[in-house]
Every structure is written in structure tokens, then in C-alpha cells.
Structure 1
Amino acid sequence: MSLRGDGKVAVITGASSGIGAAAAKAMASAGFTVVLGARREERLEALASEIEQETGRRPYTGSLDVTSLESSTKFVSDVMNTFKTVNILLNNAGLASGTSYIETAEDETDWQKMIDTNVSGLLRMTRLFLPHIIASGEGHVINLGSIAGHEAYAGGSVYAGTKFAVRAITTALRQELLGKPVRVTHIAPGMVETEFSVVRYHGDENQAANVYTGMTPLTAEDIADCIVFAVTRPLHVNIDEIIVKPTDQAGAGKVARR
């Protein structure tokens, strides 16, 4: 049995593109009241207009940098002043930056960016929203991880480390919230063709495109489907984890190409 959003308030971080944007569209179509946060406000506004055209309801949008305590605190305060309650938090904001080996890394800029966003940012947004999510009586925290949180690989040590951390945080949070009205889900995608690789390769679109040459990757919409599935189960059902890979991928670096 599947359910609809019924107006429940769902906050999505990193909502300006990729999986975050696809999840915003899918959740809005499923009847959720979506709240979109990201740094690129102009993209949020364009996305909000698109969703409004499709659903007749314009999402709430707000500037959000999850690496900044000031930005995060203001965003949460503004959202709560507007809606008074939040049911769902999708911790989607995250990135990979660089592919250097630890031995040859020239500085720690990429490392710090990933740790600040993927780990500290996720923890921060969860901490700030969790009291409101618990108070809603029908809460759900969804953390966007990666198969890199199950299988590390050369050149991805820090990124994989952050995603191992996301998986550990999700598991611990589920135990910490046992007995409270909050479900906790970890979604771990394999290769998804979004801006992910463009960011990882510091804007080199040719190098990013080569990642998916000769194979069929997942799309952002595929992951959005998984998110909507998890959040629309009956309240007594918790989807602990969804690991989803393209048919052409068996693991990190294990890809069939034609």
C-alpha cells in the first residue's frame, strides 16, 4: 500500500539541481509541500516556477549553505516561522571534489569541502530540524549516501570516507530515535549522471562525460523514485536502506561498457 504526501512539509537541501531538484518535483507531484534550500537561488526560483506550473502550488525557497552555521540557522528559523512544522528532511546536499590520491594531493581544500558539506552539513541540518521533525509526530529523515559508503576506491578516499560516515550516522540516528515517531532512511546510489562528475572534475565537462561513456547510468529521476517510495510507505514501515546501481555497474569501478 502506498500513500501520498497529504501536504506534509518536506525540506530538501541541495535542491537546485540533480537529485535534489528531481526529488523536489517528484515529492511535490506526490502531494508533499516541498521546501527547497540551496546556495544557487536563481536555480531554485526557476525550479519553483516549474513545479508551480506542474502542480499549481509554488514551493518555498530559501538560500542555504549547509557548511555555514549562520546560513543553516537562519534557513531553519525562516522555514519554521512559515510552516510551524516539518515532517521530512532530505539531506541531499553533498559533493565529490577531486580524484587525487592522498600521496599526491597538493593541499586539503577538496578534502575540507567534502567533509564540511557531506558530513558536518548533514549533521548540522539534522540537529537543527530534528526537534521539529519529532514534534510533527510523523517524521522522516532521509540521508543521501552513495555506494562509496560501502566500497572505497583509489582516488576517492575522502569522498568514500564521508559517505561511510553518512551511513554510520544514519544507522546511529535510527537507534537514537528508536521509540520516537521518526523513520530514518539511507539511500545509496551508484553512478548517476548529474552535475556530480562535473563538480568532481572541477568543471571539466569532457572528463565528466567520459565517466559515463559506453554505459547507461542512472538518472536523477531514478533516485527520486526511490526517495518517494521510501517516504510514502505506511508509518509503521521503515525502509532502512536502498542501494541502487545501474544494470551496467556491479560496484565501484566495476562497469560494463560497450
Structure 2
Amino acid sequence: MNKNSAILVLILTLFAILPAVSFGQNGKTSKEAEAVLARSVAALGGEKYLNVTTAVGRGRFSIIRDGAVISFQSFIDVIVFPDKERTEFKGGGIKTVQTNTGETGWIFDGDAETLKDQTPTQIESFRRGMRVSIDYLLRGYWRGQAELEYVGKRPATLGKRNDVVRVTYDDGLVVEFEFSADDALPVKAIHRRTNADGEEITEEDRYAQFVEVGGIRSPFIIDRFTAGKHSSRINFQSIEYNKRIPDSIFVKPSNPKDLKRDLKL
């Protein structure tokens, strides 16, 4: 069996195990949307991608204003799918730790040396971040919480078009995902949120520089655009998959000083 035939078999297999077709807004069938997701999963590694349970990423997070980097921090990001994450930032000799498990979370501020539970607003921000991510979509964690529909093709770069699918959650959150019609790789995730001033703004994540690690392809660059302006960049230097992660790293410590030490995995 040649490579193209193997990929086609994988797509058909994935499509066969998907749940019965549902209907999105305006009665549009999600059949086309499910096919787009299946092709993208195949492009990212197929069963290897779907079988990922943990991810440990290291790299640099930059804040961008007017096209220039105004600050950056190194980070280590530990995820246990679908809803556990611990991210440690270091910059200027100061360390910050943000940890979430489902609908709970805590934050360590190394500058003030304080350890606090996250506010409801911070926890909701984490939950929204999960639900608008490409992994949450392609690994199917949204199922039972939202409807899926195929929007159509949208112009991309010169001579290119993207397939667009829309996920509408039961609580009203709407996310549009764009995939390259050529190679099926994820291109964008777009949603709207309300900022601190009560204004509704558009957030857009753009995926680039896909790197294969152990048969799994992942974007090593994720650019965030807020209200049409480039606001931040995540630049991974390495990603490890299916590493054993102890549950203890997600537990809020009793002594904040324990968090000054580097995370050992």
C-alpha cells in the first residue's frame, strides 16, 4: 500500500468511528466539517496524534506592540489532556506559575511572593483558552458540548483557500477554525470575547512552523492577534509527548517557597 492509500484508509477509518452526523446552525450538516477534521488529524499524525495524553513544551513567550517585541519570558508548559495545565514563566529573574485543573486553579507571583487561588474570571479565561484550541477541537473534547458545521472555503494567501468549520458551544461561545485546503494543516482559530471595558473584540490564533516529533506534527509558532493587531507569540523550542506527569505538580503547595525551585519532570 502506498503512502496516499494509507492516508485515505486512515481518513475513512476516522470518519467511520465519528458519532452520527449532527446539524449546526441554519440546518447545515456537519458531515463536511467532520471530513475536514479527519483530514487534519491524518496530516498531524493520525492515531499517534489522537493517542497523545500529555505534552511538555518549552520555549519563549513574547508580548508584541506595534510590530515590535516589548518583552519576553521563557516558559515550560505541562498539559495533561483534556483539562490540566501548569505553565511556568521566567523573565528578569522573576518566576510566575499558573496551574489549572478543570474548574479550579492557583497562581504564584514570584515578584510579590504570593500564592493565591485564581479568580472566577481567571478560571473562565483558562476554560475559554482550552475550548478555542486546535487540540480541543481535533481530539474531540468538545463533543457533547457543542455543534459543528462546515462554513465553506475562505480566501487565504494568494491563490490559496482555507476550509472553515464552526463550533458553537451550548453557552454561546462560537469558534471558527481554518484549515489549509491543500495540506489540511490548521491555519487559524478565531473567536470573540468581551474585554475588561465591556467591549467585544476578536481574538485570532495563527499556527505556523509545523515540526514533526515522534510522528506527530505540531505548530512551533502560535501568533495571537487581538482586534486585528499582533499582540503575542508563542515560540516552542521543544515539545515532548506522552511523558509521565505526576499529579502532584497540579496541587497547590502549602509553602510558596517550594515554587522557586525549577520544575523537575
TM over 0.5: no
Larger radius of gyration: 2
Kindly indicate which of the two structures has a greater share of residues assigned to helix: 1
TM score, norm. by length of structure 1: 0.32
Q: Which has the higher strand share?
A: 2
